[in-house]
């Protein structure tokens, strides 16, 4: 069975969600920068060759992971200054 980048990203997001709960994080910046960001950005060089549709799907997965890190849900506003 061939897995697409989206399938792999969703699998990573699920694994991270199972391993990390937002309230368990003592230092969220360390967690984000050292543990999660490299996993999310793995293979990002290939994004330059991806179609806009695939990039949008990857952005959706990345947004899910960022919401998990921040402990927010989809209804949380992000455009506030």
Does residue 80 form part of some domain?
no
- Domain containing residue 42: 5-70
Structural domain count of the chain: 1
pLDDT higher than 60, residue 25 = no
Report the pLDDT value the prediction gives residue 79, as an integer from 0 to 100.
63
According to DSSP, residue 43 is labeled T
pLDDT digits (tens, 9 = 90+) for 32-81: 666 667 776 776 666 667 788 877 887 888 788 777 777 777 777 666 55
Does residue 55 form part of some domain?
yes
What CA–CA distance (Å, rounded) separates 53 from 4? 13
Does residue 78 form part of some domain?
no
Does residue 76 form part of some domain?
no
Report the pLDDT value the prediction gives residue 69, as an integer from 0 to 100.
75
Does residue 31 form part of some domain?
yes
- Residues 27-66 as b/e (b if ≥16 CB within 10 A, e otherwise) read eeeebbeeebeeebeeeeeeeeeeeeeeeebbeebeebbe
Report the pLDDT value the prediction gives residue 27, as an integer from 0 to 100.
65
Report the pLDDT value the prediction gives residue 31, as an integer from 0 to 100.
64
Report the pLDDT value the prediction gives residue 51, as an integer from 0 to 100.
81
């Amino acid at each position: 069975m061939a897995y697409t980048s989206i399938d792999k990203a969703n699998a990573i997001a699920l694994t991270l969600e199972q391993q990390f709960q937002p309230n368990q994080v003592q230092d969220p910046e360390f967690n984000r920068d050292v543990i999660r960001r490299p996993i999310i950005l793995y293979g990002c060089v290939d994004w330059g060759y991806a179609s806009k549709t695939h990039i949008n799907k990857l952005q959706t997965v990345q947004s899910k992971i960022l919401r998990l890190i921040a402990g927010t849900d989809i209804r949380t506003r992000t455009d506030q200054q």
